[in-house]
């Protein structure tokens, strides 16, 4: 394993360790804890973060009568190839991706996936693969939504289910490429760097910042929260070639770029 220092500052803003040839509102159902195997694969094809969707609140929810209310049971299923899949068992509900962003029709819609309180994507069917997650405890929540993205509720409670997923291990030792970035007083220490990443590598990015914000790895659509008391950590499989920026979304500030080839 070789070490490459990209920042020229006395305290390096970014350190890359590359291995040679390396490959919120929950349901009333109690959450369950699942021990997760480390992720090894990630299908980015259906990843999306819906900035175009208006963020609906509990006050916007469509109330469904108890006799016709959908139900949702979220199940975490281990993927034999590595990682975890979500299975959404529902009643009185039909997934209708062909009607997304249209008027509400009783009994149909889609789901919204939240990981650690951050909305990641829509789910259009019973099965969905989780993105690669760093080691630690993660709250996985799925809400049922109408075609117009309004949350569905019954008896004043959102139709939602939550599971707790515990991913073991140390992401820093698992990763083929480790990158650390420090943002202070609105500036990236050492400047914004472009990090070359061999395709197929597992990449870990840790960002320390003096603001509350959200990290977004464009192209891969991977997200993490960052706060003055908590670094943001992104873990992703570099399986898409190209140049991808990581941004502090609230500021619209690029903190690092990855060149995957």
Residue 10, pLDDT above cutoff 60: no
First to last CA, the chain: 19
Q: If you average pLDDT over residues 229-256, what whole number do you get?
A: 91
Q: Kindly report the backbone phi and psi dihedral angles of residue 241, in degrees, each rounded to the nearest multiple of 5, phi listed first.
A: -75, 150
Residue 170, pLDDT above cutoff 70: no
pLDDT band at 53 (very low <50, low <70, confident <90, very high): low
Can you tell me whether residue 171 is helix, strand or coil?
A: helix
Bridge partners of 128, per DSSP, are 86
Q: Tell me the pLDDT of the chain averaged across its residues.
A: 79
- Domain annotation for the chain: domains and CATH numbers: 2-22+176-260 (2.60.40.420), 33-167 (2.60.40.10)
Threshold 0.75, pTM exceeds: no
pLDDT at 167: 82
Bridge partners of 75, per DSSP, are 87
Identify the residue with better confidence: 42 or 98: 98
Token representation of residue 39 = 């992720």
- DSSP letter, residue 50: -
How far is CA 148 from its chain centroid? 22
Residue 84, pLDDT above cutoff 90: no
Q: If you average pLDDT over residues 91-109, what whole number do you get?
A: 96
Cα separation, 7 vs 42, in Å, equals 30
Q: Kindly report the backbone phi and psi dihedral angles of residue 63, in degrees, each rounded to the nearest multiple of 5, phi listed first.
A: -80, 130
Cα separation, 70 vs 153, in Å, equals 9
Cα separation, 37 vs 256, in Å, equals 29
Cα separation, 190 vs 209, in Å, equals 14
C-alpha distances (whole Å) from 183 to each of 5, 19, 129, 191, 225 are 17, 26, 32, 9, 14
Pairing of strands 152-154, 62-63: parallel
Cα separation, 127 vs 213, in Å, equals 30
Q: Can you tell me which residue has the tokens 């175009």?
A: 52
pLDDT at 52: 42
Residue 43, pLDDT above cutoff 50: no
């Amino acid at each position: 394993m070789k070490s490459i220092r990209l920042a020229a500052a006395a305290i390096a803003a970014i350190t890359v360790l590359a291995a040679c040839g390396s490959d919120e509102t929950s349901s009333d159902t109690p959450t369950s804890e699942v021990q997760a195997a480390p992720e090894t694969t990630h299908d980015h094809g259906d990843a999306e973060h819906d900035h175009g969707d208006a963020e609906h609140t509990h006050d916007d929810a469509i109330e469904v009568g108890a006799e016709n209310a959908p139900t949702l049971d979220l199940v975490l299923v281990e993927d034999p190839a590595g990682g975890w899949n979500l299975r959404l068992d529902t009643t009185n509900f039909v997934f209708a991706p062909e009607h997304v962003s249209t008027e509400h029709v009783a009994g149909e819609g889609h789901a919204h996936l939240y990981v650690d309180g951050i909305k990641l994507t829509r789910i259009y069917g019973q099965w969905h693969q989780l993105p690669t997650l760093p080691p630690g405890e993660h709250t996985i929540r799925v809400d049922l939504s109408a075609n117009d993205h309004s949350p569905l509720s019954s008896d004043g409670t959102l139709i939602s289910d939550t599971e707790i997923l515990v991913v073991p291990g140390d992401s820093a030792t698992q990763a083929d490429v480790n990158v650390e970035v420090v943002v202070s007083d609105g500036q990236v220490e050492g400047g914004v760097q472009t990090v070359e990443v061999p395709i197929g590598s597992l990449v870990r990015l840790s960002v320390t910042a003096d603001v509350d914000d959200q990290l977004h790895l464009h192209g891969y659509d991977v997200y993490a929260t960052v706060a003055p008391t908590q670094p943001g950590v992104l873990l992703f499989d570099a399986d898409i070639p190209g140049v991808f920026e990581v941004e502090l979304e609230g500021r619209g500030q690029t903190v690092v770029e990855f060149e995957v080839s």
